[in-house]
Amino acid sequence: MNATLLPPPAFEESTTAGVAWYCLQAQPRHESIAARALRQRDEIEVFCPRIRFRRPRAGGQMWMTEALFPGYLFARFDLPSRHREIGHAHGLRGIVHFGGIHPSVPDAVIDQLRLSVGEEELTEVTSQPGPGDDVMLTGGALHGLEAVVTKYLPARDRIRVLLEFMGRQMEFELPARSALPSVHHPLRRFAG
């Protein structure tokens, strides 16, 4: 599947032999399924970081676990010899590529991500967002939009956020539980 985003400078062009890390696009909400399927294959190292957080639900909050990079995971393998096998693995849409180039992810980037999520590939978000924090809004009509926290209102457990919407900046208040720390997709911030 062709990606429409430009590769960030952290990626390296790779079309030659050799084992390297690659970004894989999973089917919607199938990151863990794809990771499990790939881990059953020989000579493939898989990294699928996840995030655990509380999400408001009817009757209270519940813990949720989702992919840190929704729709994506990473695998280390030899591209020329495993391209077809990996590209059609269960739960995957394919290997991220731009035209005919499959960018590899430098080992240092994966190492840094691993340090931040630990051996279990899981990081837990338990603190409330504070002024200046980037957040992603959850639930309601604004679900998935990113905003910046301008103030935390502890007495009511609410936050005030600044959001750019239709070319205008708007500030409004919402329950603190309706915002998660923003996790930028590794490719999204380089898109034009």
Spatial separation of the C-alpha atoms in residues 14 and 182, rounded to whole Å:
30
Give the mean pLDDT of 164-184: 79
Cβ neighbors of 174 (< 8 A, separation 6 or more) are 137, 158, 159, 161
Edge-first strand order for the sheet with 179-181 is: 168-175, 158-165, 146-153, 134-137, 179-181
> Percent of the chain scored above 90 by pLDDT?
45
> Six-digit token pair at 5?
């985003």
- Cβ(94)–Cβ(24) under 8 Å? yes
CATH no. of 12-125:
3.30.70.940
Q: Quick one: pLDDT at residue 183?
A: 59
Give the mean pLDDT of 67-84: 94
Band the pLDDT of 152: cuts 50, 70, 90: confident
Task: Give this prediction's pTM.
Answer: 0.62
Spatial separation of the C-alpha atoms in residues 178 and 142, rounded to whole Å:
10
Give the mean pLDDT of 129-153: 83
DSSP 189: G
Band the pLDDT of 90: cuts 50, 70, 90: very high
Q: What residues does each domain of the chain span?
A: 12-125, 134-181
Give the mean pLDDT of 134-152: 84
Q: What CATH architecture does domain 134-181 belong to?
A: Roll (2.30)
